[in-house]
């Protein structure tokens, strides 16, 4: 077990934990000046992400291959990193109509850790292994460990256990040469550097992790056929706003009149992708469903098959 002194020594080597002497009297500055300093620091995050785009793209392609065969995408992290994973996972069903359990967010300490601190949870590799075992992980799945420091035992333990089980693994951190990156098959390390408030890695590091998770889930879903061009055609219309958005997406994809759109949506139980196919290919609802099933849910492939 790591001693407090050993942990302190480790933290002192991490860029995300570095102390900025030039900000030592930030609390004495006018509010506008603090806001400008923070905004300047935040502006550097996209460039740090940009430097790692090749690694992100490689990981996305590997994830897509697994998910195309029925695999799941699992995020595992503690604290802010864990919350960001849970957030990204929770946004996939309404945005991309993913199946329940297809994208999963695990946070050390369980759901209660979303709003309260669970003492010691992030330090337990055993807890990470137990959480993954509860999912009955398979080699078709992908586990992404998320940790700003890159040393969080829960995230490192999750990746190491997943890799031992044959799952694809990705380590997302904000420090180079991290233990998390070393444990994973795919290493994504976004060097965000010192924070405005020393040690508060929910700031720049959190922003970087959110940007990368957005990329991973969104581009993977594009590759899986969850969009048509840049249209969100697998949207799940679960409220008035999303129902209005569904109609607008069908209109943008087809140029059809409102009456034709309403007829198409009624014939396809509100499924946007199916409705577009009925209009553009001139097929009925059941035929559209079969074409999409045969094409693995890819609308362009279904349109090509309908044209033959």
Q: What is the CATH number of the domain that holds 259?
A: 1.10.8.1080
Q: Are residues 266 and 303 in the same domain?
A: yes
Judge whether 25 counts as a catalytic residue: no
Determine, yes or no, domain membership for 148: yes
pLDDT of residue 296: 93
Tell me which of 223, 258, 281 is where a domain ends. 223
- From CA 85, how far away is CA 106, in angstroms rounded? 7
Q: Which listed residue (91, 125, 185, 260) is catalytic?
A: 91
- From CA 142, how far away is CA 87, in angstroms rounded? 17
Instruction: List the structure tokens of 146.
Output: 């998320």
Q: Are residues 257 and 143 in the same domain?
A: no
Determine, yes or no, domain membership for 59: yes
Q: Are residues 142 and 69 in the same domain?
A: yes
Burial of 180 (0-12, 13-18, 19+ CB in 10 A): buried
* Domain range enclosing 273: 240-307
- From CA 171, how far away is CA 268, in angstroms rounded? 40
pLDDT (average), residues 261-276: 94
Q: Are residues 81 and 217 in the same domain?
A: yes
Tell me which of 197, 223, 249 is where a domain ends. 223
pLDDT (average), residues 258-276: 95
Determine, yes or no, domain membership for 2: no
Is pLDDT above 70 for 27? yes
Banded pLDDT at 238 (limits 50, 70, 90): confident
pLDDT of residue 12: 67
The label of the residue with tokens 């697998």 reads: 234
Give yes or no for a contact between 231 and 253, defined as CB atoms under 8 angstroms apart.
yes
Q: Are residues 254 and 207 in the same domain?
A: no
Q: Are residues 249 and 210 in the same domain?
A: no
Judge whether 122 counts as a catalytic residue: yes
Give yes or no for a contact between 49 and 212, defined as CB atoms under 8 angstroms apart.
yes
Element at 88 (helix H, strand E): helix 79-96
Which residues lie closer than 8 Å to 213 by C-beta, 6 or more apart?
75, 84, 85, 88, 144, 146, 172
Instruction: List the structure tokens of 280.
Output: 């553009």
Burial of 125 (0-12, 13-18, 19+ CB in 10 A): middle
Q: Are residues 217 and 260 in the same domain?
A: no
**What is the count of structural domains for the chain?**
2
CATH of the domain at 188: 3.40.50.10490
| E-strand stretches of 110-233 | 142-147, 168-173, 186-189
Determine, yes or no, domain membership for 234: no
Is pLDDT above 80 for 206? yes
Q: Which listed residue (122, 189, 195, 271) is catalytic?
A: 122
Q: Are residues 28 and 141 in the same domain?
A: yes
């Amino acid at each position: 077990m790591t001693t407090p002194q050993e942990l302190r020594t480790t933290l002192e080597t991490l860029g995300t934990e570095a102390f900025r002497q030039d900000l030592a009297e930030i609390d004495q500055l006018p509010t506008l000046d603090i806001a400008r300093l923070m905004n300047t620091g935040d502006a550097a995050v996209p460039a740090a992400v940009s430097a790692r785009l090749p690694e992100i793209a490689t990981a996305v392609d590997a994830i897509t291959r697994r998910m195309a065969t029925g695999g799941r995408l699992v995020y595992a992290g503690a604290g802010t990193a864990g919350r960001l994973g849970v957030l990204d996972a929770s946004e996939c069903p309404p945005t991309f109509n993913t199946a329940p359990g297809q994208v999963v967010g695990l946070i050390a300490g369980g759901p209660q850790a979303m709003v309260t601190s669970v003492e010691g949870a992030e330090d337990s590799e055993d807890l990470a292994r137990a959480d993954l075992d509860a999912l009955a992980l398979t080699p078709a799945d992908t586990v992404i460990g998320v940790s700003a420091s890159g040393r969080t035992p829960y995230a490192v333990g999750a990746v190491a256990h997943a890799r031992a089980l044959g799952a694809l693994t990705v380590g997302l951190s904000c420090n180079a040469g991290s233990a998390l990156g070393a444990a994973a098959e795919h290493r994504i390390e976004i060097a965000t550097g010192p924070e405005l408030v020393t040690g508060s890695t929910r700031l720049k590091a959190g922003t970087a992790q959110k940007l990368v998770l957005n990329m991973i889930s969104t581009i993977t879903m594009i590759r899986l056929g969850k969009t048509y061009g840049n249209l969100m055609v697998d949207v799940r219309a679960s409220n008035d706003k999303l129902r209005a958005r569904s109609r607008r997406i069908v209109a943008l994809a087809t140029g059809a009149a409102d009456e034709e759109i309403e007829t198409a949506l009624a014939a396809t139980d509100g499924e946007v992708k199916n409705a577009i196919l009925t209009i553009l290919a001139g097929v009925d609802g059941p035929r559209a469903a079969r074409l999409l099933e045969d094409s693995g849910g890819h609308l362009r492939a279904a349109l090509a098959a309908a044209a033959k």
